[in-house]
């Protein structure tokens, strides 16, 4: 483990595992040699705060986010910053965004955000941007270049010409398996911006890209998909160490495409099933996905959870911690050249994922 001793890793991992029930992701970066480049950040995602009426909100979703924020503030070592992976709101309402941000304001440190489709399609992100600033940006932290993209845009004609109201548009985009829906994309303007942004970054600088939808194609029917994923990947291709972290899918996903490692975050609200369990076709998941048993639909936090991610030298070791389920570890395997599940890598060793939903 370059620049990062196994003892330290186990020590800090142990401290985090003690908080094993919190639905957030802990990301540890340890690039370069020595402690100067080492730091952590926490990742919370997909809270889907849902207004019932007035000040009344769906309690389970509130509680998922409150718990994540509370426990994130207890993390030791303290994370350098927090990241929120999108879908604060369920239907993009101001009351939902306000309520979610009110809960998130208790985080003791800087928080960066990426926009989700549930935050966007009511007013095309106006209120979100008013509260949080631009929906695509980059920043540098301790030698790592971070990029945030709005990956949930779609065709102009779908966005502007088809719907009588923002509410109707939001309802359409909020549904899975909706033939009236439209695929997500980063879009040409942002890809140009990304190209420009990356032109200032040296090729050996570790790159971490945050998007809401996966910047890879998994399952179009649920928009586990970004239409111009390959074009975005091509812009990331020249860099030696690239990690893409995303929300939206509410489940464990891991993949490697060329030089890019992909890792999904679990939600604080609810788990989506694996597309393969729905379609009964394995090809709907990245081949490196670790199956996760969801045997207890009566447990409100079933298959929600958090990740501890050690990205030393740009290679990710991901510790998935699930309340009520056995933990999973997906570690970058130097020999294979991609992340691999040490314990459940062989399909025969895996617990079957649910066959109903
Ligand atoms: Fe979501
Ligand atoms: Fe989403």
Domain annotation covers residue 221? yes
Domain annotation covers residue 14? no
Domain annotation covers residue 18? no
Residues with CB under 5 A from ligand 1 (ion): 46, 87
Q: Ligand 1 centre and the CA of 80: distance in Å?
A: 25
Q: Ligand 2 centre and the CA of 103: distance in Å?
A: 19
Q: Ligand 1 centre and the CA of 111: distance in Å?
A: 18
Ligand nearest to the CA of 173: 2
Q: For residue 253, give the CATH number of its domain.
A: 3.60.21.10
Ligand nearest to the CA of 45: 1
Q: Ligand 2 centre and the CA of 88: distance in Å?
A: 9
pLDDT tens figures, 17-75 = 334 444 566 666 655 544 446 677 888 999 999 999 999 999 999 988 998 898 888 87
What stretch of H or E contains 99?
A: helix 94-104
Ligand nearest to the CA of 225: 2
Domain annotation covers residue 26? no
The Cα–Cα gap between 254 and 330 comes to 8
Q: Ligand 2 centre and the CA of 276: distance in Å?
A: 19
Q: Ligand 2 centre and the CA of 47: distance in Å?
A: 10
Q: Ligand 1 centre and the CA of 132: distance in Å?
A: 18
Does the pTM surpass 0.85? The reply is yes
Q: Ligand 1 centre and the CA of 267: distance in Å?
A: 7
Q: Ligand 2 centre and the CA of 144: distance in Å?
A: 26
Ligand nearest to the CA of 121: 2
Q: Ligand 2 centre and the CA of 258: distance in Å?
A: 25
The Cα–Cα gap between 295 and 310 comes to 28
Q: Ligand 1 centre and the CA of 20: distance in Å?
A: 22
Q: Are 263 and 318 in contact (CB under 8 A)?
A: yes
Spell out the per-residue pLDDT of the chain, length 357, in tens: 333 333 333 334 433 433 444 456 666 665 554 444 667 788 899 999 999 999 999 999 998 899 889 888 887 878 889 999 999 999 999 999 999 999 999 999 999 999 999 999 999 999 999 999 999 999 998 888 999 999 999 999 999 999 999 999 999 999 988 889 999 999 999 999 999 999 999 999 989 999 999 999 999 889 999 999 999 999 999 999 899 999 999 988 889 999 999 999 989 998 888 887 777 776 788 888 877 766 666 777 787 867 666 666 566 676 776 766 677 777 778 888 888 887 877 777 776 655 554
Q: Ligand 1 centre and the CA of 247: distance in Å?
A: 7
Q: What is the largest CA-CA distance in the chain?
A: 59
Ligand nearest to the CA of 184: 2
Handedness of CA 214, 283, 180, 227 (dihedral sign): positive
Q: Ligand 1 centre and the CA of 46: distance in Å?
A: 5
∠ at Cα 116 (210, 146), nearest 5°?
A: 15
Ligand nearest to the CA of 150: 2
Ligand nearest to the CA of 174: 2
Domain annotation covers residue 321? yes
The Cα–Cα gap between 349 and 196 comes to 45
Domain annotation covers residue 30? no
Q: Ligand 1 centre and the CA of 239: distance in Å?
A: 29
Domain that residue 201 falls in: 36-354
Domain annotation covers residue 29? no
Ligand nearest to the CA of 222: 2
Q: Ligand 1 centre and the CA of 83: distance in Å?
A: 15
Q: Ligand 2 centre and the CA of 266: distance in Å?
A: 12
Token readout for 266 is: 């679990």
Domain annotation covers residue 22? no
Identify which of 72, 85, 19, 9 has the alpha carbon closest to the alpha carbon of residue 264.
85
Q: Ligand 1 centre and the CA of 249: distance in Å?
A: 6
Ligand nearest to the CA of 119: 2
The Cα–Cα gap between 238 and 198 comes to 10
How many domains does the chain divide into? Answer: 1
């Amino acid at each position: 483990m370059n620049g990062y001793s196994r003892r330290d890793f186990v020590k800090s991992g142990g401290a985090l595992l003690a908080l094993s029930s919190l639905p957030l992701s802990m990301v540890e970066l340890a690039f370069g040699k020595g402690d100067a480049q080492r730091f952590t950040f926490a990742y919370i995602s997909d809270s889907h705060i849902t207004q019932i009426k007035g000040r009344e909100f769906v309690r389970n979703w509130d509680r998922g986010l409150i718990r994540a924020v509370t426990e994130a503030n207890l993390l030791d070592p303290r994370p350098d910053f927090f990241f929120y992976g999108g879908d604060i709101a369920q239907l993009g309402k101001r009351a939902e965004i306000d309520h979610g941000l009110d809960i998130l304001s208790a985080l003791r440190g800087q928080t960066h955000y990426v926009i989700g489709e549930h935050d966007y399609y009511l007013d095309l992100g106006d209120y979100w941007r008013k509260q949080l600033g631009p929906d695509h940006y980059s920043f540098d932290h301790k030698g790592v270049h971070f990029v945030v993209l709005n990956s949930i845009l779609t065709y102009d004609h779908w966005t502007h010409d088809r719907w009588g109201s923002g509410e109707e548009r939001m309802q359409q985009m909020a549904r899975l398996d909706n033939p009236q829906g439209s695929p997500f994309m980063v879009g040409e303007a942002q890809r140009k911006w990304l190209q420009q942004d990356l032109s200032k970054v040296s090729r050996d600088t570790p790159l971490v890209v945050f998007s809401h939808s996966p910047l890879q194609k998994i399952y179009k029917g649920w928009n586990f998909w970004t239409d111009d994923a390959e074009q975005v990947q091509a812009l990331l291709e020249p860099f030696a160490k690239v990690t893409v972290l995303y929300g939206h899918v509410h489940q464990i996903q891991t993949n490697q495409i060329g030089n890019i490692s992909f890792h999904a975050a679990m939600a604080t609200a609810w788990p989506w099933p694996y597309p393969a369990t729905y379609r009964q076709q394995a090809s709907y998941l990245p081949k490196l996905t670790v199956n996760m048993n969801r045997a207890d639909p009566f447990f409100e936090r079933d298959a929600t959870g958090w990740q501890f991610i050690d990205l030393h030298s740009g290679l990710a070791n991901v510790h998935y911690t699930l309340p009520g389920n056995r933990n999973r570890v997906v570690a970058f395997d130097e020999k294979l050249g991609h992340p691999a599940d040490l314990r459940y890598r062989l399909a025969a060793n895996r617990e079957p994922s649910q066959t109903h939903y």
